Amino acid sequence: MSYIAKPQVSHPSLRKNKLGLTSRDYEGAVSTLCAGCGHDSVTAAIIQAVFDLDIEPHMLAKMSGIGCSSKTPAYFVQQSHGFNSVHGRMPSVTTGANTANRHLTYIGVSGDGDSLSIGVGQFVHAIRRNLNMCYIIENNGVYGLTKGQFSASADIGSKPKKGLPNQQEPIDPVSTALSLGATYIARSFSGDKAQLVPLIKGALLHKGFSLVDIISPCVTFNDHEGSTKSYAHTREFYNHVVDVDYIAPFEEITADYEQGSAMPVALHDGSKILLRKIDGDYDPTSRARAFKYLRDRFNAGEIVTGLLYIDDERKEMHDLMGNVDTPFAELPMESLRPPKGELQKILKPYR
Amino acid sequence: MTKTVYFPVVAVMLAPNVGSACSPGSGRGKSMKPTDTSNPDYFHKVVDCQWACPAHTDVPLYIRLIAQGRFGDAYIENRKSNVFPGILGRVCDRPCEPACRRGRVDEKPVAICRLKRVAADHREDITDRLPRGAAKSNGKNVALIGCGCASLTVANDLRPLGYEVTIFEALDTTGGLMRTNIPRFRLPPEVLDDEINCIIDMGVDLKLNHRIESMKELLDSGEFDAVFVGTGAPRGKNLEIPGRYDSDRIHIGIDWLESVAFEHIEEIGKRVLIIGVGNTAMDCCRTSLRLGATDVKVMARKPRGFFKASDWELEDAEEENVEILVNHSPKEFVFDDGKLVGMTFELMEYKVDDDGGIDRGTVVGETTIACDDVILAIGQDNAFPWIERDIGIEFNEWDCPVVDETTMMCTREGVFFGGDSAFGPKNIIWAVAHGHQAAISIHKYCQGEDVRKRMPRGINLLSQKMGMHEWSYSNYFDPAERRIMPHVELKERFKKLDIEVELGFTAEQTIQEVERCLNCDIQTVFAARLCIECDACIDICPVNCLTITPNGDEADLRTRLSAPAENPEQALYVSGELPHTSRVMVKDEDICVHCGLCAERCPTGAWDMQKSQVLIPYAEDEASGAQPEKKGVSVA
C-alpha cells in the first residue's frame, strides 16, 4: 500500500471517452494490497475496459465476496454500485441483484479461494443459470489473506514458500466452466494487459455468464522458484491460443488477418469481437474439442490462454425465464404483485 | 495426468516476449540502447530548471531548504552557483521558469525566482559562512575591467585562492548595469550593496572612477598576469530617422536610466513615447511614470507574441497602465517651432506563418502621436573603442571579440571576456556563469596549465528511501496554483522613485509555493535485473509515463507508450532487457511528477527514488584537484 493517494494530476493528452470521462475518472481508492500484486494489474485492466466501453459508472455493479481478490472492487469505478458479500456468496447475491435489475452491467471479482473452495457451489450454479455477468477469478493458487496456504487451484508439485509441495488435484475453473456449459470462457494473465483488456470487454458485453480466469501472481506468498503461479513460471509456460480484438459498433474490421485465422463474433450491442486463432487447430466453438485441447496442453504443463470457448446462442437467465425487459426494480407494485384472481390463474396448472 | 512430471519442457514454445504484448513496431529500425545514466548530463537534464539555468543553480534543493525554514542554507546553496541570490531573486531573467516541468503539468511554473528572494530576505546572519579572501597572496595579479556581475563573480572565485584582484571601474560606484539600468523600484540599492560589498570585502583592490582607456597600455604595464574584461554592452542603439538630433527630449534608454539612477535627471514630460518593447523599454516606461509622466505609450513595431520583453515585465508595466501600441514602425520626429511635439509612425501589417514566423510586414497607413519626450529602447551594442585592434585580440564581423565559449579566453592568451562584453547582451545570470568559467581559466592560465583541460562535471545519486512508505522528500503532488506576488498599491508606488513594488511572498504564500516544486532532482532510477514485470509501477503512475514494451527505434517507441511521448526535448529513459521477456522498461521523462509511487509500488525495489546532485567544478575545485563536493549545506 501507499501512504499518499494517487495524485489527482494526469497526462495533459489523456483521452476522453464518449461520456467525456478519462480513464482516471474510473479509478477507485488506492490499493491496500501488497506492492506488485497481480490483482492491481487486473484492476487496471478492468478500468481500461470499462472506460473503453463508455460504461456509465452508475450502470455498473461491482460484486465480491471475501479475500484479497474481493477487495479489488474498492479500487475501480468509485461511482458505481457495489456489494461486498459473505465469503463465497458473491454469485448468489449477484443472482439476486441481477434478477431485480437486469439493466445494470454486473462484474463479479472473486478469487480461487472464494470461488473454488468455500463458494464452489455458488459458482457452478451461477454458470448453470447462465447469469448475465462478467465473473473474474483472480487466481493465484494460495490463500493470501491467511498467509499463503495452498488453495484449490494449486497445481500438483507446486512448492509453497515453506513446507511440502501440493499433492492434490487442482480444480481448474476453465475446465469446470466448460463442463457446466458456461457461454464465454477465457483465461489470461495479469501481466498481459494487451490480451486481458479485450477479453474483459468481450466478457462485459457477452449476454450470459462470462468467466475470465486470470493468473494473478501472489507476490508475497507464491512468487518464488518452484511455484507454478509465479510471474516467471506463468511467462515461461504461457501459451495464448486465441486472442481477441474488440471492435466497437461503429468500427470496421480493418486489420489484415491471415486467411482463416480471424473469426468475427457479433455481440448483442452491435459490436464485434474478432477471434484471432494463434493455433489454427483450435476451435473455440466446440466444447468437446476445447475440452480435449485444454486437458492435453495442461498435461504438457502449458498455461493455455485466450478466449477458449464461446457460445452466443444460449439464452441468459432472464430470457430462459421469459422475464420482461423492464427491471423488476422499476416495475410498479401492481405488476409485481398480481391480484388474487390472476395469481390463482397462474398457479392453476401446478395444482 | 502424468503425476511424475511437473513442468515438462514444451517443445514448441512461443517467443519469450509475452504473447500479444509483442507490438508490430518491434523489428523496425534500430532498437534504442539502454540509457547511459552514468553520463552526468542525463539526470541533470531531467532537472529542467537547473539545466536551463546558465549557472546551474540546484533549484529543487534550495526550494526544499526554504520549505524547512532553512533560509540561510538556501541562500548559501544559491550563492555557490549564482553569487547574487538577493539581486537575482528580484531581477533575474529566470530561464528556469519557462523550463520548469510544473509548467507542462499545470500551466504555470513554480515561482522559482521569487522563492530565491525569500531565502535572501529571510536568511539569518551567514557572514561567517561566506568565502573569504586568502590571507596569503599567491603572487598572481589579475585585472578585472568593469565592476559588474561578471567581474565580481571572477573576484569571488579567485580571491579565496590567493589571487590579487584589482577591479577598474569607470563610474564612481560598483554594480555596473545592475545599478545604472535597473530601476530602484525593482532592485533596492541596499540589496546591491550588501551582495557586492561582501565580495569587495574579500580583499579586492577596487579602483573607482578609473576608466581604462587603452588595453595595450594595461597589458604592456606588465602589472597583471591575466586580464578579464567585464565591461558589458554599454552603448544603446540609435534610431537614425529624420529629426533624431533636433531635440534634447529624445533619449537613449540605457543612458537615460543611468542618468536617473545618478539623479542627474529628475523629471520628464507628461506624454512619453518609448520606442521598443524589450525589458529596457519596460524599465523606461515605469521609470517615466515615477518622474511625472502621466501618459506613457510603448511603441512596438511588431504584434504581441513577438515582443522581446519577458511576459512578467510586460505584465508589471501594464498593471501600471502603460499602453502598448502594436504594429507601429517609427518614421520621423515631428516638431512645432523647433519643439518636439510628436512622432510619426507607419502602421504595419504582418503575415505570420504556421510555424510562427513573421514576415517583414507591409505599410498600410500612417499616424502621428503627440508627445513631450521620446525614449529609444531598441537594443544595446558592445563598444570597445579602448581596445586596440593590433594587440592580438581579434574582433568578428559584429565588432565583438572572438571569445572561446568554454574558456572565455579571446585570441590573445591571458585576456578573458565575460558577461555582455563577451557575446553581446544577455543577462545577469549568464554573466555569472561566464565569470565562474573565466575564473577557472584564469587560474589554469596563471598556473601554467592548459585552460582547455577542465574538470568534468560529475553526478551523485543517493536513495531517498526512509522506510516502507517513507521518502526523505515531500512526494505528494500539491495541486495548488502559482502564488501571485503582492505589490505595493498603485497610488502609493508612484510617490517616490525607490519604493520597491514587489513586497515578497508572505509566509503562507511561501509554504504553498514550495510545495508546488515537483522535486525533479529526486530521480526515478531503474534496475532492470530486479524487474518481475508485474506492471505495478505502470498501473499506479498518475501521468502514464511508464511502459514495458518490445524495444524499437526512438521515433517508433515514442508512438507506442502508455501516453504518446510528443515532447522530443525530453528524453526517453530506456532500460536494458528485462529478465523475463526481454522487453524494455521505457520512461518518458516529460511530465513525471516525481511522486515516487512507482518505487513505492515496486515489490522488488527495481525502481528507486534517488537524489541526483550535479557536481559542478568551480575554480577552487580545479585548484584543489579534487572532485567538487557539496559545501556548506547538508543534503536536504
Q: What is the dihedral of CA B469, B475, B480, B485, to 10 degrees?
A: 140
Residue B138 exposed, middle or buried by CB count within 10 Å (0-12, 13-18, 19+): middle
Cα radius of gyration (chain B): 28
Q: Is residue B357 located within the same domain as residue B395?
A: no
What is the separation of C-alpha A301 from the centre of its chain, rounded to a whole number of angstroms? 23
Q: How many CB atoms lie within 10 A of CB B247?
A: 16
Helix (H, G, I), strand (E, B) or coil at B222: coil
Residue B34 exposed, middle or buried by CB count within 10 Å (0-12, 13-18, 19+): middle
Q: Is residue B223 located within the same domain as residue B249?
A: no
Q: Are A278 and A307 in contact (CB under 8 A)?
A: no
| pLDDT at res. A1 | 57
Q: Are B105 and B518 in contact (CB under 8 A)?
A: yes
Report d(CA A265, CA A40) in Å as an integer.
30
pLDDT band at A255 (very low <50, low <70, confident <90, very high): low
**Shortest CA distance from B565: residue in chain A:** A13
b/e per residue, A128-140, with b = 16+ CB within 10 A?
Answer: ebbbbbbbbbbbb
Q: Is residue B621 part of a domain?
A: no
Q: Is residue A350 part of a domain?
A: no
For residue B562, the 8-state DSSP code is: S
pLDDT of residue B636 exceeding 50, the answer is no
% of chain A surpassing 90 pLDDT? 73
Looking up cell 480513464 gives A23
> Mean pLDDT for chain A?
91
pLDDT band at B29 (very low <50, low <70, confident <90, very high): low
Q: Are B109 and B97 in contact (CB under 8 A)?
A: yes
C-alpha cell at B384: 570597445
**Shortest CA distance from B590: residue in chain A:** A11
pLDDT of residue B4 exceeding 70, the answer is no
**Shortest CA distance from B606: residue in chain A:** A36
Q: Is residue A114 part of a domain?
A: yes
Q: Is residue B121 located within the same domain as residue B211?
A: no
Which 61-120 residues of chain A touch chain B by CB within 8 A? none
Report d(CA A350, CA B167) in Å as an integer.
114
Q: Is residue A71 part of a domain?
A: yes
Which 209-268 residues of chain A touch chain B by CB within 8 A? 217, 219, 223, 228, 231-233, 235-240, 243
Range of the domain at A110: 23-321
% of chain A surpassing 70 pLDDT? 97
Do β-strands A133-139 and A209-215 pair in parallel, antiparallel, or remain unpaired?
Answer: parallel
Q: Are B139 and B556 in contact (CB under 8 A)?
A: no
Query: What tens digit of pLDDT does each residue of B64-84 get?
Result: 999 999 999 999 999 999 999
Q: Is residue B228 part of a domain?
A: yes
Q: Are B253 and B276 in contact (CB under 8 A)?
A: yes
Q: Is residue A118 part of a domain?
A: yes
Q: Are A320 and A98 in contact (CB under 8 A)?
A: no
Q: Is residue B3 part of a domain?
A: no
Reference A97, options A327, A348, A333, A340; nearest CA is: A327
Looking up cell 390463482 gives A344
Q: Do B479 and A8 touch (CB under 8 A)?
A: yes
Which 146-165 residues of chain A touch chain B by CB within 8 A? 155-158
**Shortest CA distance from A35: residue in chain B:** B601
Residues in chain A, how many? Answer: 351
Query: What tens digit of pLDDT does each residue of B136-181 get?
Result: 999 999 999 999 999 999 999 999 999 999 999 999 999 999 999 9
Which 519-538 residues of chain B touch chain A by CB within 8 A? 532-536, 538
Q: Are B438 and B154 in contact (CB under 8 A)?
A: yes
Q: Is residue B259 located within the same domain as residue B189?
A: no
CA distances from B369 to B223, B268, B293, B339, B346 (A): 56, 17, 16, 14, 11
Q: Are A123 and A108 in contact (CB under 8 A)?
A: no
Looking up cell 434478477 gives A99
Complete edge-to-edge strand list for the sheet that includes strand B584-588:
B546-549, B584-588, B572-574
Cα radius of gyration (chain A): 21
The amino acid at residue B404 is D
Q: Is residue B488 part of a domain?
A: no
Which 9-38 residues of chain A touch chain B by CB within 8 A? 9-14, 24, 34-38
CA B325, B326, B327 angle in degrees (round to 5)? 130
> Mean pLDDT for chain B?
91
**Shortest CA distance from B12: residue in chain A:** A239
Report d(CA B383, CA B238) in Å as an integer.
13
Q: Is residue B425 located within the same domain as residue B521?
A: no
Q: Is residue B109 located within the same domain as residue B150?
A: no
Residue B507 exposed, middle or buried by CB count within 10 Å (0-12, 13-18, 19+): exposed
Q: Is residue B226 located within the same domain as residue B243?
A: no
Which residues of B fall within a CB distance of 8 Å from A28?
none
Q: Is residue B497 part of a domain?
A: no
Interface test with A, best of B4, B476, B534, B585 (most A CBs within 10 A): B534
Report d(CA B537, CA B526) in Å as an integer.
11
Helix/strand/coil percent split, chain B, to 5: 30, 20, 50
b/e per residue, B248-275, with b = 16+ CB within 10 A?
Answer: ebbbbbbbbbbebbeeebeebbebbbbb
CA B471, B474, B476 angle in degrees (round to 5)? 105
Which of B2, B18, B476 has the CB atom closest to A238's CB atom?
A: B18
Reported as half-sphere exposure (CB side, CA atoms, 13 A), residue B153 has a value of 32
Q: Is residue A40 part of a domain?
A: yes
pLDDT of residue B227 exceeding 60, the answer is yes
Report d(CA B287, CA B272) in Å as an integer.
11
Q: Name the packing angle between helices B507-515 and B59-67 (round to 10°).
A: 130
Query: What tens digit of pLDDT does each residue of A267-282 get?
Result: 777 788 888 777 777 8
Q: Is residue B256 located within the same domain as residue B341?
A: yes
Average of pLDDT values for B184-189?
95
Q: Is residue B591 part of a domain?
A: yes
Query: What tens digit of pLDDT does each residue of B354-407 get?
Result: 888 899 999 999 999 999 999 999 999 888 999 999 999 999 988 889 999 999
Q: What is the dihedral of CA B209, B213, B219, B224, to 10 degrees?
A: 0
H-assigned helices in B326-427? 420-423
| pLDDT at res. A62 | 98
Which residues of A fall within a CB distance of 8 Å from B536?
35-37, 40-41
Q: Is residue B349 located within the same domain as residue B402?
A: no
What is the separation of C-alpha B5 from the centre of its chain, rounded to a whole number of angstroms? 67
Q: Is residue A41 part of a domain?
A: yes
pLDDT of residue B16 exceeding 50, the answer is no
Q: Is residue A11 part of a domain?
A: no
| pLDDT at res. B92 | 95
User: Which of B349, B379, B409 is the last residue in one of the domains?
Assistant: B379
Q: Are A113 and A152 in contact (CB under 8 A)?
A: yes
Average of pLDDT values for B434-440?
97
CATH number at residue B365: 3.50.50.60
User: Which of B355, B379, B403 is the last residue in one of the domains?
Assistant: B379
Reference B253, options B232, B291, B280; nearest CA is: B280
pLDDT band at A283 (very low <50, low <70, confident <90, very high): confident
b/e per residue, B344-362, with b = 16+ CB within 10 A?
Answer: bbbbbeeeeeeeeeeeebe
Q: Is residue B489 part of a domain?
A: no
Q: Do A35 and B535 touch (CB under 8 A)?
A: no
Q: Is residue B272 located within the same domain as residue B302?
A: yes
Distance from first CA to last CA of chain B, Å, rounded? 61
Range of the domain at B69: 46-81+101-128
Which residues of B fall within a CB distance of 8 Å from A35?
536, 600-603
| pLDDT at res. A244 | 83
Which residues of B fall within a CB distance of 8 Å from A300?
8, 10
Name the domain count of chain A. Answer: 1
Which DSSP string do the residues of B450-503 spell out, in sequence order? -TT--PPPEEEEEE-EEETTEESS--S---PPPPPPPB--HHHHTSSTT--SB-
CATH number at residue A109: 3.40.50.970
Which residues of B fall within a CB distance of 8 Å from A164?
none
| pLDDT at res. B223 | 95
Which residues of A fall within a CB distance of 8 Å from B540?
2, 6, 40
pLDDT of residue B6 exceeding 80, the answer is no
Task: Say if B20 is an interface residue toward chain A (CB within 8 Å).
Answer: yes
Q: Do A300 and B604 touch (CB under 8 A)?
A: no
Tell me, letter by letter, the H, E, C secondary structure of chain A: CCCCCCCCCCCCCCCCCCCCCCHHHHECCCCCCCCCCHHHHHHHHHHHHHHHCCCCHHHEEEEECCCHHHHHHHHECCCCEEEECCCCCHHHHHHHHHHHCCCCEEEEEEEHHHHHCCCHHHHHHHHHCCCCEEEEEEECCEECCCCCEECCCCCCCCCCCCCCCCCCCCCCHHHHHHHHCCCEEEEEECCCHHHHHHHHHHHHHCCCEEEEEEECCCCCCCCCCCCCCCHHHHHHCEEEEEEEEEECCCCCCCCCCCCCCEEEEECCCCCEEEEEECCCCCCCCCHHHHHHHHHHHHHCCCEEEEEEEECCCCCCHHHHHCCCCCCHHHCCHHHHCCCHHHHHHHHHHHC
Q: Is residue B298 located within the same domain as residue B413?
A: no
Reference B588, options B611, B612, B568, B571; nearest CA is: B571
pLDDT band at B106 (very low <50, low <70, confident <90, very high): confident
Reference B327, options B343, B303, B309; nearest CA is: B303
Query: What tens digit of pLDDT does each residue of A170-188 get?
Result: 999 999 999 999 999 999 9
**Shortest CA distance from B542: residue in chain A:** A10
Report d(CA A331, CA A324) in Å as an integer.
10
Which residues of A fall within a CB distance of 8 Å from B106?
9
Helix (H, G, I), strand (E, B) or coil at B283: helix
User: Which of B363, B379, B395 is the last residue in one of the domains?
Assistant: B379
Task: Say if B474 is an interface residue toward chain A (CB within 8 Å).
Answer: no
Number of A to B CB contacts under 8 A, please give it: 153
Which 262-301 residues of chain A touch chain B by CB within 8 A? 298-301
The amino acid at residue A18 is K
Name the domain count of chain B. Answer: 4
Report d(CA B49, CA B515) in Å as an integer.
16
Q: Do B477 and A7 touch (CB under 8 A)?
A: yes
Q: Is residue B299 located within the same domain as residue B243?
A: yes
| pLDDT at res. A298 | 87
Q: Is residue A9 part of a domain?
A: no
Q: Is residue B503 part of a domain?
A: no
Query: What tens digit of pLDDT does each residue of B31-63 get?
Result: 999 999 999 999 999 999 999 999 999 999 999
Q: Are B267 and B291 in contact (CB under 8 A)?
A: yes
**Shortest CA distance from A296: residue in chain B:** B1
CATH number at residue B547: 3.30.70
The amino acid at residue A161 is K
Query: What tens digit of pLDDT does each residue of A44-80 get?
Result: 999 999 999 999 999 999 999 999 999 999 999 999 9
Helix (H, G, I), strand (E, B) or coil at B596: coil
